[in-house]
Amino acid sequence: MNRRHFLTAAAVGSAAALAGCNKEQTTTASSACQPAEVIKWKMVTTWPKNFPGLGTGAENLAKLIHEMSGGRIEVKVYAAGELVPALEVFDAVARGTAQIGHGGAYYWKAKHEATQFFTSVPFGFTAQEMNAWLFYGDGLALWQEVYAPFGLVPMPCGNTGVQMAGWFNREINSLADLKGLKMRIPGLGGEVLRRAGGTPVNLPGGELFTALQSGTIDATEWVGPYNDLAFGLYKAARYYYTPGWHEPGSTMEAIFNKQALESLPKDLQSIVLNACKVVNADMLAEFMARNHQALETLKREHGVQVRTLPDDVIAELKKLSAEVLAEVAQHDPLTKKVYDSFIAFRDKVKPWTEVSEVAFLKARG
């Protein structure tokens, strides 16, 4: 009887202990499942709201950060003009008005000359070459060095691929036709146009149609058929020129307020930065898929005339581009450092591009 009583007591004790253990585990699991405090960020962009490719790329970044973080970070996107004007994104993120900005680095030329190298350089890198320099050369490290004094951290976050030369209200048959041409063209390409006798104008995308239609400008570059069709630029200019000598592979950027980024736990920092890499690849794929569709629409439904810039015009623009780059490089030691890296990587990667992609495209015809 004593033995039976002992075994019964032991069984009851074990069951109680097991129940207690299960209760403890359940409580712990329940605590672990409790949602952490949600971090709420703002993103300001240089793009019109939900603008195809560029604007939706910013929205895609916000969505990915939210999903990849398991809802721990919410990002509210503000289009150009909703919280700050398009060309004040850099300053807004630097002062902490927003934690993220989305745009193009060459818009911030006034902040530092070297910023222009991180969007696109005339006769410079294709999208593939640009990504190679940024991620497997020292491009990204240099970009971060340029932005560091402003309390900002940049990341590649999209690419349009090769762009078009732009929309013109006059034919370009010779170098003389560039003289006095008022054209919206930012960055280094704008300075090249100035050397060729034109007048570069820097306007945000939302103002292009009105400026072109009213005659405030004679020509504008924007992106390519996908975005240009969305803006209706074919209604304001007759001639659509190729190739996009000024922007052969334009990188879009996400810029982060450094203090805000570094305040995140390490896992969330990794999520945020890797979300940028996803958008970087996705945007390039989207532009490749959409541009050819839009080009057919422009030609067949709207009668757009696609022209090719004359060889002598391209040759002169290429010569002027080399001169502009060399002069900009002398602006300060950091810009020279970026320039030297850019040119060295271009010289190294060019032979492979020639025997791979260029050779194949010639063979394909």
Half-sphere exposure of 80 (CA within 13 A, CB side): 20
Is residue 5 predicted with pLDDT exceeding 50? no
Q: What is the DSSP string of 229-258?
A: HHHTGGGT-SEEEE--TT-SSPEEEEEEEH
The whole-number average pLDDT for the span 35-54 is 91
The whole-number average pLDDT for the span 270-289 is 98
Domains of the chain: 39-160+249-288 (3.40.190.170)
Is residue 30 predicted with pLDDT exceeding 80? no
Q: What is the DSSP letter of 141?
A: H
Of 110, 86, 144, give the one whose Cα is nearest residue 261.
144
pLDDT band at residue 12, thresholds of 50, 70 and 90? Answer: very low
Kindly report, residue by residue over 122-143, the tens digit of the pLDDT: 999 999 999 999 999 999 999 9
The whole-number average pLDDT for the span 62-74 is 98
Count of positions (residues) in the chain = 365
Is residue 28 predicted with pLDDT exceeding 60? no
The pLDDT score that the predictor gives to residue 50 is: 86
The pLDDT score that the predictor gives to residue 36 is: 67
Amino acid at position 19, single letter: A
- Rounded-to-integer distance, Cα 51 and Cα 48, Å: 5
Is residue 209 predicted with pLDDT exceeding 60? yes
- Rounded-to-integer distance, Cα 313 and Cα 336, Å: 28
- pTM of the entire structure? 0.87
Of 75, 38, 65, give the one whose Cα is nearest residue 269.
65
Residue bearing tokens 């034109």:
198
Of 171, 176, 289, 281, give the one whose Cα is nearest residue 225.
289
- Cβ 242 vs Cβ 298: under 8 Å: no
Half-sphere exposure of 242 (CA within 13 A, CB side): 9
The pLDDT score that the predictor gives to residue 142 is: 98
Q: How far is CA 128 from CA 37, 240, 276, 351, in A?
A: 39, 25, 16, 14
Task: Provide the mean pLDDT of the chain.
Answer: 91
Is residue 10 predicted with pLDDT exceeding 60? no
The whole-number average pLDDT for the span 42-66 is 96
The whole-number average pLDDT for the span 49-64 is 95
The pLDDT score that the predictor gives to residue 27 is: 39
pLDDT band at residue 187, thresholds of 50, 70 and 90? Answer: very high
- Rounded-to-integer distance, Cα 179 and Cα 149, Å: 39
The whole-number average pLDDT for the span 106-130 is 97
The pLDDT score that the predictor gives to residue 26 is: 39
